Amino acid sequence: MSGILSQAEIDALLKSNSVNITDDEIDTLGEIGNISMGTAATTLYEILGKRVDITTPKVSVTTMRKMAETYTIPYVGIEVKYLSGVEGFSFLVLKMVDALIITDLLMGGDGTNPGEELDEIRLSALGEIMNQMMGSAATSMSEMLGTSVTIAPPKLFEVRFADTKLDNILEDDEIVKISFKMVVEDIINSEIMQIMSKDYAIKFAGKLLNTGEEPVENPDTISETEEVKVEAKADREEEKKEKKATRQPSAKVNVSPLELKSFEDEDEEEKSEEVDVGDNLGLLMDVPLPITIELGRSKKMIKEILELNEGSVVVLDRFAGDLVDVVVNGKLIAKGEVVVVDENYGVRITEVLSKKSVIRKERA
């Protein structure tokens, strides 16, 4: 018997020494996928204007060889490179026909005649869609992990599992596949898959397990609650800024412009009130105040509220393009416009109400 091992024997030895993925890690990967892809579905809904559900994650361990035997039709692959937080690669894979339908919807079609191949224009459009979807997914992952998760711009390519090599994954290497059900109204009823090496999947899941936090599951469906999400996001970001301001007193200079405004028509009583505030300014500066961004309001009868369901639209008392209200501690103090800063919602202040107006509103 020869003392030299064959390549097959070497591969078998390496596999026998590999670390198996645990049930906890599989559950964690499913939860992370459910939350991040739920956020991505919301983004796709906003882009297409059509109801999108990406739900029911199923985690399994397989190999590229088995994938090639099972999935024989052409797919579109999206390489997602994580630059910070969970450094590494994962791949999002969807059917070519689904990608064509999505780009057709984006370009004003109804999805019934999507074409047969991704030309340069469609590929560019799909790349932008995936960039926004993966960006929002990275933001939700940042909140789960408690650390910044950033990604490189996604790269798109055609995938035929029999021929395509993903990163350095060999055909007999174990990989983790997370399959999601993807439904776009009555147009698409398919699946989308996330693929990563087993080693990276274990590292990925361990990152969250080590934080000791339980991921909060998103609802399985996407409904029109963007108004609430903007408000909640703004509240969270402002809380972070207020905490930072408490730790760094130099940040107080940000509020000085409000104190420099002059109001020549204020009566003596209002001026005396300002002096009192100024005398105690040092005591007040470290008091945290909640900031709420209000897009608008609406009134409904109880009957109408009980009839609300998934996909219902609530019309607000504002027009598209109207300024939003900046409310501090329940009091309207400014108006502004919604902006996006590094994948987060924000508000650019365009009008600050005078202190005189605030005082009169309070007395009223």
pLDDT digits (tens, 9 = 90+) for 233-285: 455 555 545 544 444 444 443 444 444 444 444 444 444 444 444 455 555 56
Contacts of 120 (CB under 8 A, 6+ apart): none
Sequence letter at residue 326:
V
Quote the CA–CA distance of 91 and 77 in Å, as a whole number. Answer: 7
Which of 160, 196, 222 has the alpha carbon at shortest distance from 59? 196
The CATH-assigned architecture of domain 7-209 is 3-Layer(aba) Sandwich (3.40)
The pLDDT of residue 60 is 94
CATH 2.30.330.10 fits 226-363, yes or no: yes
Averaged over 14-37, what is the pLDDT?
Answer: 80
Residue predicted with more confidence, 40 or 212: 40
pLDDT band per the 50, 70, 90 thresholds, residue 191? very high
Q: Is the pLDDT of residue 361 over 80?
A: no
Per DSSP, 6 falls in state: P
Highest mean pLDDT among 8-22, 167-181, 188-202, 301-315: 188-202
Q: Is the pLDDT of residue 206 over 70?
A: yes
Q: Is the pLDDT of residue 94 over 90?
A: yes
Quote the CA–CA distance of 25 and 208 in Å, as a whole number. Answer: 9
CB 181 within 8 A of CB 56: yes
Residue predicted with more confidence, 257 or 135: 135
Quote the CA–CA distance of 43 and 314 in Å, as a whole number. Answer: 19
Averaged over 174-199, what is the pLDDT?
Answer: 94
The overall pTM is greater than 0.75: no
Sequence letter at residue 112:
T
CB 228 within 8 A of CB 293: no
CA angle 93, 99, 105 (to 5 degrees): 145
Least reliable range by pLDDT among 35-49, 67-81, 94-108, 254-268: 254-268
Residue whose entry in the numeric block shows the structure tokens 């005078």: 354
Domain ranges of the chain: 7-209, 226-363
Residue predicted with more confidence, 347 or 260: 347
